[in-house]
């Protein structure tokens, strides 16, 4: 392996490309069955959810429209505070729509809990959440997440949309960083 190869920055692979793709297919089949032919407005949360969104919508057989939101959590340091600011709002009117929020990972759940309440206040027919990863140990708030890909231990992961300092989002697998990257 070339020393400039991005994979040299990773300590170990948590989920391979194949494992992720298999899980996405499973989630899509479950979603198709639940929505029974109803149209779904899939809302991706930028930037982390880009990969999940792209693969999930291609695996769905339901009629789908897509929109995007970008939010930022106020707060000092790396911990999300639960105080959320909208950086980019939806272009779509949610009235009467079946909304499916797509996330890469739920850590504390504070951001998503705020987002869910915000979207619910706009008069949709329903709001559900689909996340590829969830860290159960880190949950600070109870949120009802209907579709969860994998539950992972409370460690920092990158790849498949997830970044460290905006890098590693382009990896097609998910892994942990080698200590030399952040030490």
The contact pattern for ligand 5GP, residues 94-133, with x = CB under 6 A and - = no contact, is: ----------xxxxxxxxx---------------------
Considering only the stretches 17-25, 34-42, 53-61, 157-165, report the one whose residues sit in contact with ligand 5GP under the rule CB under 6 A.
157-165
Minimum distance from residue 83 beta carbon to ligand 5GP (Å):
11
Distance CA 162, CA 168 (A): 7
107 is catalytic: yes
- Return the ∠ at Cα 59 (arms to 151 and 120), rounded to 5°: 65
Partner that binds at residue 158, options ligand 5GP, Mg ion, none, CB closer than 5 to 8 Å by kind: ligand 5GP
Map residues 10-39 to x or -, x wherever contact with ligand 5GP holds by CB under 6 A.
------------------------------
Interface positions, 111-140, toward Mg ion (CB under 5 A): none
The alpha carbon dihedral of 114, 111, 67, 104 has a sign of negative
Name residue, tokens 């209907």: 146
* Pairwise CA distance, residues 111 & 8, whole Å: 32
In the set 48, 109, 149, 159, which binds Mg ion (CB under 5 A)?
48
Q: How are strands ordered across the β-sheet holding 40-46? A: 84-88, 64-73, 40-46, 98-106, 126-134, 147-151
- Nearest-angstrom CA–CA distance, 19 and 104: 15
Kindly tell me which residue out of 163, 173, 178, 181 binds Mg ion, with binding defined by CB under 5 A: 163
Give the span between the Cα atoms of 50 and 12, in whole angstroms. Answer: 23
Could you count the other beta carbons within 10 Å of the beta carbon of residue 179? 8
Q: State the residue number with the nearest CB to Mg ion.
A: 48
When asked if residue 62 is in the footprint of ligand 5GP (CB under 6 A), the reply is no
Q: Which residues sit at the interface with ligand 5GP, rule CB under 6 A?
A: 48, 73, 80, 104-112, 156-158, 162-164
**Which residues are the active-site residues?**
107
């Amino acid at each position: 392996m070339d020393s400039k190869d991005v994979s040299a920055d990773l300590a170990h692979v948590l989920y391979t490309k194949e494992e992720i793709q298999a899980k996405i297919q499973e989630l899509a089949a479950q979603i198709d069955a639940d929505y029974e032919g109803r149209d779904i407005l899939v809302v991706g949360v930028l930037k982390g959810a880009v990969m999940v969104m792209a693969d999930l919508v291609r695996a769905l057989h339901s009629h789908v429209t897509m929109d995007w939101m970008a939010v930022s959590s106020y707060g000092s340091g790396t911990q999300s505070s639960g105080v959320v600011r909208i950086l980019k709002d939806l272009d779509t009117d949610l009235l009467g729509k079946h909304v499916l929020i797509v996330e890469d990972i739920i850590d504390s759940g504070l951001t998503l809990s705020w987002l869910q309440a915000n979207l619910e206040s706009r008069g949709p027919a329903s709001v559900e959440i689909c996340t590829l990863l969830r860290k159960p140990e880190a949950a600070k708030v109870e949120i009802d997440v209907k579709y969860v890909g994998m539950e992972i231990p409370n460690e920092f992961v990158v790849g498949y949309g997830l970044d460290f300092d905006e890098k590693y989002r382009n990896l097609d697998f998910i892994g942990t960083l080698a200590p030399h990257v952040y030490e």
